[in-house]
Amino acid sequence: MEQYVLVVEDEPVLLELAQEILELGEIKALGAPNADQAFKILQEHPDIGLVITDIKMPGKIDGFELAWLISECWPQIPVLVTSGHRAVRNDELPANARFMPKPWLISDFLDQAKEMLLMAKGYPWNRSDKTPGLHS
């Protein structure tokens, strides 16, 4: 089954940009304008292999809470949490998540997405492993 990346971003321009970057890297992408919509998409699409989410957005839950919900409901799906407003230490996130500050370089963004899609194949997550970038 081909995997998709779900991008969760309330800024339409950034949502479209992230999806285009992923598609340039030959990664299929879906988009959601908020965490509530992302949760619905996750329920309907078993082919999601990675979620990339902004932290600050409208709705009942933010991207930080979404990362924790995903870790509880779909622990096999890694989450890349991004923000230009707030820094997050990886130890504040669930085991299946990483933080990447905005603005990001296109190459770094693509590298993270590809690495995390590969990481998903190594589920279950193990905080004691020495995977580069998983622990900061």
d(CA 114, CA 41): 21
Token pair, residue 99, equals 């933080």
pLDDT recorded at residue 124? 64
Residue that wins the pLDDT comparison between 78 and 91 = 78
- 117 pLDDT band (50/70/90 cuts)? very high
The single residue listed with the structure tokens 């933010």 is 62
The domains of the chain, with CATH numbers, are 4-120 (3.40.50.2300)
> Does 7 have pLDDT greater than 60?
yes
> Does 74 have pLDDT greater than 60?
yes
